[in-house]
Amino acid sequence: MLTISQRGNSYFVDLIHLYDLIMKKIFFAILAVLPLTAFCQPSSLKELTLAWKTSFHKPIISSPLVDGEIAYAGCLDSNLYALDIKSGEIKWKFKTKGEIRSTVALNGEVLYFTSRDGNLYALSKADGKLEWAFKTGGDKKYDPYDYYESTPIVNDNTIYFGESDSTFYALNATDGKLKWSYKSSGIIHTTPAIGKGKIYFGSFDGYVYALSLTDGKLLWKFKSLGHDYFLKGEMQFSPTYANGMVYIGGRDYNLYALDAEKGFCHWNRAFPQGWVTSITLSPRTDSVLLIGTSDPEVLLCIDGIYGSDIWKCKTGTNIFNNVAFNKTTCFAGTANGKLLGVNRTDGVLKYSFSVDGYNANHLQYLKPDDTYRDDIGSLIKSGDDYITFCTKLGSVMAKPVVIGNKIIFSSMDGNIYCLNVPE
């Protein structure tokens, strides 16, 4: 049975995405009777302060990559930007022919990223000069809630990434020549994970795949359980390798812990209210995982061996990407345009920062306590309406980056922010 959290955002995904004409009456009936619960905001919550921001013309979903004094990030205006991390000054930009929804990978002096024009690009990190480009079979979105592209990863001078043509690619990092490819039955927008000679990724066909790093041979594949509203159990969200297991969340409301060697399921944990959207390995060498969710509106710290909770932080909104850490705090971006800092030991909220989009527009959708307005059903009627909500409020879809006492992140309000961290 589907449980709907009034404060969640992806219940709009569940109800609206799944054929508006069938589900609208149910949606509005539930919306009318469910109570609203306030966002958990302790009185001791401290506001982080702005060091600088750089503004662009379109939303940014790509997470920044920082190397030395430069941060690299793609934008939906089709440009990849290089910014000085001390001032936010743009050093150079490179124009593609499509939106950039992947994060940059770095190998030596070369940057790699994908674009919605269907190319993987290799650029000089010094000046943005094109080294080479590899043309795939084209790119497309699965639906409005397919936010990201596959971020390439580099291992042993080989670039690995998936594409909308249902193909997983392995390229020579030096010249872009194809080493091997593997064809799945669905769009591949997950960022792959590597462990012990294998590479793992999920596909919108509902399978998790394990391939040989060297030749792309299929070693095993695992099918998700599926869900009444998501029959394929699409594997939209990226896997994490740790503890001899592959962890991944699907659109079927399950978190899976799969055996990395043989592909069987050690355990799966159902999240009836919505999706597990991100899985971040603790910076310690232990079994602790940080789990971001959609409708459950929680950031969880769990034991990766057994799947049991260590602590739970109620965020009051969705978390779509991985978290970042310093010594005492984990930082997570939210769908309602905030960056939150949570104590790593007990999950207590410590810090908050509201982006420009939230400050300017949140009362168009939210009450002062960050719960939805009573007329929210008339404001968000479709997937495109939800993306408008994310853009206006400046959803932080990207993973933050901690550099010393600064934290850098991008937002859908079209800004890259650098904040001061007081510890």
Residues 83-97 pLDDT 10s: 999 999 999 999 999
Q: Hey, is 38 helix, strand or coil? A: coil
Which strands, in side-by-side order, build the sheet including 245-249? 240-242, 245-249, 254-259, 265-270
Q: Are 233 and 252 in contact (CB under 8 A)?
A: yes
**Cα–Cα distance between 153 and 219 in angstroms, integer?**
20
- pLDDT tens digits, one per residue of 360-401: 999 999 999 998 899 999 999 998 999 999 999 999 999 999
Is the confidence at residue 25, as pLDDT, over 80? no
Is the confidence at residue 19, as pLDDT, over 80? no
Is the confidence at residue 41, as pLDDT, over 80? no
Q: What is the mean pLDDT of residues 277-305?
A: 91
Residue 310, CA distances (Å) to 93, 254, 290 in order:
43, 19, 10
Is the confidence at residue 242, as pLDDT, over 70? yes
Is the confidence at residue 30, as pLDDT, over 70? no
**Cα–Cα distance between 240 and 339 in angstroms, integer?**
23
Of all residues in the chain, the percent with pLDDT exceeding 70 is 89
Is the confidence at residue 11, as pLDDT, over 50? no
Please give the pLDDT value at position 285.
63
Q: Hey, is 25 helix, strand or coil? A: helix
| Backbone torsion region of residue 216, taken as left when φ is above 0, otherwise alpha when ψ lies between -120 and 50, otherwise beta | left
Which DSSP string corresponds to 221-246?
EEE----SS-TT----SPPEEETTEE
Largest separation between any pair of C-alpha atoms in the chain: 59
- Read off the amino acid at residue 345: T
What is the separation, in whole angstroms, between the first and last Cα of the chain? 44
**Cα–Cα distance between 404 and 22 in angstroms, integer?**
51
Is the confidence at residue 262, as pLDDT, over 90? yes
Q: Hey, is 28 helix, strand or coil? A: helix
**Core vs surface per residue 128-153: b (16+ CB within 10 A) or e:** beebbebebeebeeeebbbbbbbbbb
Query: Both tokens of residue 86?
Result: 């001390």
Average pLDDT of the chain is 89
Q: What is the mean pLDDT of residues 47-66?
A: 96
**Cα–Cα distance between 329 and 376 in angstroms, integer?**
33
Min mean pLDDT across 20-29, 178-187, 281-290 is at 20-29
Q: What is the mean pLDDT of residues 316-337?
A: 94
Q: What is the mean pLDDT of residues 356-362?
A: 97
- The beta strand positions in 31-152, using DSSP E, are 46-47, 49-55, 65-67, 70-74, 79-84, 90-95, 105-107, 110-114, 119-124, 130-135
**Cα–Cα distance between 59 and 415 in angstroms, integer?**
8
Tell me the whole-structure pTM to 2 decimals: 0.88
Of all residues in the chain, the percent with pLDDT exceeding 90 is 82
Q: Where do the domains of the chain lie, and which CATH numbers do they carry?
A: 1-61+327-423 (2.40.10.480), 63-146+148-270 (2.130.10.10)
Which strands, in side-by-side order, build the sheet including 65-67? 65-67, 70-74, 79-84, 90-95
Please give the pLDDT value at position 38.
32
Q: Are 15 and 23 in contact (CB under 8 A)?
A: yes
Nearest to 339 by CA among 412, 276, 280: 412
Nearest to 170 by CA among 115, 178, 149, 151: 178
- pLDDT tens digits, one per residue of 333-352: 999 999 999 999 999 999 99
**Cα–Cα distance between 219 and 199 in angstroms, integer?**
10
Q: 45 falls in which pLDDT band (50, 70, 90)?
A: confident
Q: 286 falls in which pLDDT band (50, 70, 90)?
A: confident
- pLDDT tens digits, one per residue of 193-238: 999 999 999 999 999 999 999 999 999 999 999 998 898 999 999 9
Please give the pLDDT value at position 284.
81
Please give the pLDDT value at position 123.
98
Q: Are 346 and 402 in contact (CB under 8 A)?
A: no
Task: Find how far residue 69's CA is from the centre of its chain.
Answer: 24
- What contacts 120, CB < 8 A, 6 or more positions away? 112, 113, 114, 133, 134, 136, 152, 159, 161, 169, 171, 176
